[in-house]
Amino acid sequence: MKIILGVSGGIAAYKAAELARLVMQQGHEVQAVMTAAAQEFVRPLTFAALTGRKVLTDLFAIESAIEHIAVAQEHELMVIAPATADLIARLAHGLADDFLTTLYLAFTGPVVIAPAMNVNMWQHAATQANLETLRQRGHRMVDPDSGYLACGMTGPGRLADPAAILEAIEREARKRRDLEGETVLITAGPTQEPLDPVRYISNRSSGKMGYALAEAAAARGARVILISGPVHLAPPYGVEVVPVRTAAEMRAKVMERLGPAGIVIKSAAVADFHLGTVPTQKVKKTAARISLELDPTPDILAELGRKKGDRLLIGFAAETQNLHQEARRKLESKNCDMVVGNLVGGSSDIGFESDQNEVVLALRTGELISLPRAPKREIAERIFDQVLKLRLALHAADGR
């Protein structure tokens, strides 16, 4: 594989030489690119000698004015180690004032970033916000180790071990673009059903599960349409987000955007009931008790089950008990190809709001697969692995 190694100016720049050696030992070709500050710590000659290639350093000292475009197109993966707070800020904001940052903007493949800096700089809200932007963009972070730092302080900030960075590179390199050409329609988050102009009924869904699915699908090459209830999450990079509020709005947008989708995933926590006629004025407080008479909302998943055609339809089941039975029951009753069951409620740190989940997959083939507790993004990857396997199995069964 052809890999760009970007080196920015921190004391850990010397460790990038060891990383270059390790990456080359795996049979990859390495093109080193150094910022001006990196060259204050290590001379380009070190990388030139290790990689056998001229090190790229200066945007204006090149044969062709568009060399950064050619370099971007020729390479398949970019790793930046060490990435300083300054470089991370420049990448996050799309500044392109030297060869490395210009190349980064022109590069469309996977990016691995290994930050290294002083502990206070690492913990600063600005740095953390910039890192979050880069994570949302789908880049893989190799977080710094904790320990004694060159500045004399102790804490997180030391460049991760080159072997750990190599492992992240290998994982990215193996990552498949197996959803290229697919359109995936995903619903996420809660719905809000108004009771009057200032009140509504909703639920605890944060949208994290659905957004993790959208990120995973986009990273694997799919065109992703994410129909999202109200959440506090940044739109995933490269994903088209369609905001909605109520179950009725979600239904309308799902049906409107269904056309090109080959895979539909209903991870939204849609309200089951709503107030049929919503008062136009705020309901005044009185001493009397009031009761609400609620109507059922449209069951979007059941409607999709009736009109899905060749699409793969994946529903979710949020349960407080009998997870396996309920996942299987919803698979049948809503004509899904897979139902992802998860436990919600109680004090458990999975399901609603958590960054982690633990699920059971009930498949049309009769299989029941348990996925142990893992970050929602990891669970999302495993769900797509199974979706693709399921498609092959169903096609084989159809004789197609």
Q: Which stretches within 184-246 are classed as H helix?
A: 208-219
Does 343 sit near ligand PMT (CB under 6 A)? Answer: no
Q: Binding mask 280-309 vs ligand PMT (x if CB under 6 A, - otherwise)? A: -----------------x-xxx--------
Pair of tokens at residue 208: 């994290």
Minimum distance of ligand PMT from residue 310's CB (angstroms): 20
Q: Binding residue for ligand PMT (CB under 6 A) from 205, 228, 246, 386?
A: 205
Does 228 sit near ligand PMT (CB under 6 A)? Answer: no
Q: Given the complex with ligand PMT, which of 159 and 247 has the nearer CB atom?
A: 247
* Eight-class DSSP state of 349: S
Q: Given the complex with ligand PMT, which of 101 and 297 has the nearer CB atom?
A: 297
Does 229 sit near ligand PMT (CB under 6 A)? Answer: no
Length of the chain: 400
From 45-53, 83-91, 155-163, 201-209, give the range in contact with ligand PMT by CB under 6 A: 201-209
Angle at alpha carbon of residue 187, lines to 184 and 189, rounded to 5°: 145
What amino acid positions are annotated as catalytic residues? 151
Q: Binding residue for ligand PMT (CB under 6 A) from 9, 115, 305, 351?
A: 351
* Number of other CB atoms surrounding residue 44 within 10 Å: 17
Q: Binding mask 122-161 vs ligand PMT (x if CB under 6 A, - otherwise)? A: ----------------------------------------
Nearest Cα to 388, choosing from 263, 304, 258, 267? 263
Q: Binding residue for ligand PMT (CB under 6 A) from 270, 313, 331, 360?
A: 270
Does 315 sit near ligand PMT (CB under 6 A)? Answer: yes
Pair of tokens at residue 298: 């449209």
Does 209 sit near ligand PMT (CB under 6 A)? Answer: yes
Kindly write down the DSSP assignment for every residue of 237-285, as one continuous string: TT-EEEE--SHHHHHHHHHHH-TT-SEEEE--B--SEEESS--SSPPPP
Does 83 sit near ligand PMT (CB under 6 A)? Answer: no
Measured CA to CA in angstroms, residue 389 lies from 102, 309, 369, 394, 396 at distances of: 39, 19, 13, 9, 11
Nearest Cα to 331, choosing from 379, 298, 369? 369
Residues 6+ apart with CB under 8 A from 8: 34, 35, 37, 38, 80, 82, 83, 84, 86, 87, 100
Q: Binding residue for ligand PMT (CB under 6 A) from 42, 142, 263, 344?
A: 344
Residues 6+ apart with CB under 8 A from 278: 194, 195, 196
Minimum distance of ligand PMT from residue 397's CB (angstroms): 24
Q: Binding residue for ligand PMT (CB under 6 A) from 6, 9, 110, 207?
A: 207
Does 169 sit near ligand PMT (CB under 6 A)? Answer: no
Q: Which residues form the interface with ligand PMT (CB under 6 A)?
A: 189, 205-209, 247, 266-270, 272, 297, 299-301, 315-318, 330, 342, 344, 351-353
